[in-house]
Amino acid sequence: MNLPMASKLLVLSAVFVHFASPVPNRSVSTVIAQTFNLLLLMQANSTVLLNTYLSCQGGPFSDSSFSAPRLHYDGVPTAAIPFRKWRTLSDLERLDKNYEAYSALSEFLQLVWDDQFVINSKQVELLEMLKVTRLRIEGLLSNLTAIMSVLGGSPTPVTDSLMLESVEASTFEKKIRGYVVCHLYRQWVDRTVRDFALLKEKYPS
Ligand SMILES: *[C@@H]1O[C@H](CO)[C@@H](O)[C@H](O)[C@H]1NC(C)=O
Ligand SMILES: *[C@@H]1O[C@H](CO)[C@@H](O)[C@H](O)[C@H]1NC(C)=O
Ligand SMILES: CC(=O)N[C@H]1CO[C@H](CO)[C@@H](O)[C@@H]1O
């Protein structure tokens, strides 16, 4: 073997060790179980977050009859997917879609926090929930990366979905944007809980 070849192999194995090192292989089921437990708490909180958010925005958002489940906002990922398509995704593909969605949601939650800090500066509880949610998402992203690396993959690099121009919006649009973010975040957590229920069956702890 010539020297350049040997050093290439060395680099390759270093990369492999780097990717494999966050979690030893045998503990993948432990991380999956940990992540599942985290998700159940996030799921419970996502309903509280949505309701708290709505109650702080005034009418029509705070009306008890308010419901606009089909509202969307550019760049905020939707969780809806046909069952068959979802079921035939590989584990890595399914995790990658989560990674992509939560990366975008994390950015949007920061934007919602910024908006609410101006619109509802006295709603400290809401501001705190938005902040904690974003922290939990960051933790989830790290878990997703760890699980994917053990399964032999890594997240597809995400492109920024949020453009600086879209930060500018009227107060009403900001309120709608925040609603869509909290609403779709809750849908995503529901989907991810299903994803992980499936993973847990394959990797029982
Ligand atoms: C991890 O474990 C799985 C199944 O237990 C096995 O197929 C795979 O080869 C292992 N990967 C590594 C990097 O050891
Ligand atoms: C759920 O919300 C409570 C209160 O805001 C917070 O203390 C806790 O850390 C949250 N947990 C998760 C997993 O988001
Ligand atoms: C590898 C990794 O990131 N594990 C974390 C997964 O999430 C749980 C709960 O937040 C943490 O305790 C783990 O350290």
- By CB neighbour count within 10 A (0-12 exposed, 13-18 middle, 19+ buried), where does 176 fall? middle
Q: Which atom of ligand 2 is nearest to the CA of 136?
A: 14
* Mean per-residue pLDDT over the chain, rounded: 88
Residues with CB under 6 A from ligand 1: 20, 25
State the DSSP H helix or E strand holding residue 91, giving kind and residue range, or none if neither. helix 91-119
pTM for the full predicted model: 0.84
Q: Closest ligand 2 atom to the C-alpha of 44?
A: 1
Select from 158, 172, 152, 141 the least CA-distant residue to 57.
Answer: 172
pLDDT in tens, 105-154: 999 999 999 999 999 999 999 999 999 999 999 999 999 999 999 999 99
Alpha carbon nearest to ligand 1 atom 10, residue: 25
What is the C-alpha to C-alpha distance for residues 174 and 30, in angstroms, rounded to an integer? 40
pLDDT for 100-116, tens place per residue? Answer: 999 999 999 999 999 99
